[in-house]
Amino acid sequence: ASVSDYVRDLIRRDQGETQDVERWLHELDASIEQGLADAEAGRVHDLDEACDTIIERIRSRAAAQPQ
């Protein structure tokens, strides 16, 4: 492969990575927008209550495990 081929390949790879990053950022923006819409519509959970529920489930499963 010539130097030109090598440079073209590097440029193609860079452009592909740029497109991947742009796609990821677009998906992130959409996810944030959905989260904000959920919060505005009241589709949220209290963090303390959610953590308490998770901790209780972990403790229950741990207690059910044979020692």
- Residue 66 is predicted with a pLDDT of 86
- Residue 67 is predicted with a pLDDT of 78
- Residue 57 is predicted with a pLDDT of 98
The total domain count for the chain is: 1
Q: Which residues in the chain land under pLDDT 50?
A: none
pTM greater than 0.75? no
Q: What angle do CA 33, 52, 65 make, to 5 degrees?
A: 120
**Which helix (H) or strand (E) covers residue 55, if one does?**
helix 47-64
- Residue 27 is predicted with a pLDDT of 97
Boundaries of domain holding 43? 3-64
Enumerate helices (H) and strands (E) in the chain, giving the number of each: 2, 0
